[in-house]
Amino acid sequence: MARTSSIQNKMMLLVLIPLLVWLGAFELVPVLRMIAMSFQNNDGQGFTLGQYVKGLTNPLYGKAMLNSLKISFISSVAGLIIALVCSYSITRFTTKLRDRMIMISNMITNFVGVPLAFAYMILLGSNGMLTLIGKELGIRSIAGFDLYSEAGLTLTYIYYQVPMAILLVYPLYNGIREEWKEAAAMLGASVWSFWRHIGIPVLLPGVLGTFSILMANALGAYATAYALTGSNYNLLSIRISALVSGDIFPNFQLGSALAVILAVIMIASLVINEWMASLSRRRGL
Query: Nearer to other proteins by C-beta: 146 or 182?
Result: 182
CB of residue 165 to other proteins, shortest distance in Å = 22
CB of residue 188 to other proteins, shortest distance in Å = 4
CB of residue 197 to other proteins, shortest distance in Å = 7
* 276 binding other proteins? (CB under 8 A): no
- In the shown chain, the binding pattern of residues 163 to 202 toward other proteins, with x for contact by CB under 8 A and - for none, equals --------------x-xx-xxxxxxxxx--x---xx--xx
Phi-psi region of 113 (alpha: psi -120 to 50; beta: other; left: phi over 0): left
Q: How far apart are CA 180 and CA 225, in angstroms?
A: 44
Q: Give, to the nearest 10 degrees, the angle between helix 200-219 and helix 150-174.
A: 140
Q: How far apart are CA 94 and CA 43, in angstroms?
A: 63
Query: Nearer to other proteins by C-beta: 184 or 276?
Result: 184
User: How many residues of this chain bind other proteins (CB under 8 A)?
Assistant: 21
CB of residue 96 to other proteins, shortest distance in Å = 18
What sign has the CA pseudo-torsion 22, 26, 30, 31? Answer: negative
**For residue 233, what are the CA distances in angstroms to 7, 27, 156, 200?**
57, 29, 14, 37
Q: How far apart are CA 190 and CA 214, in angstroms?
A: 32
Query: Nearer to other proteins by C-beta: 64 or 202?
Result: 202
* 1 binding other proteins? (CB under 8 A): no
Q: How far apart are CA 151 and CA 148, in angstroms?
A: 8
* 136 binding other proteins? (CB under 8 A): no
Window 201 to 220, contacts with other proteins (CB under 8 A): 201-202
Residue 86 three-state SS: helix
* 138 binding other proteins? (CB under 8 A): no
Tell me which residues touch other proteins (CB under 8 A).
177, 179-180, 182-190, 193, 197-198, 201-202, 282-285
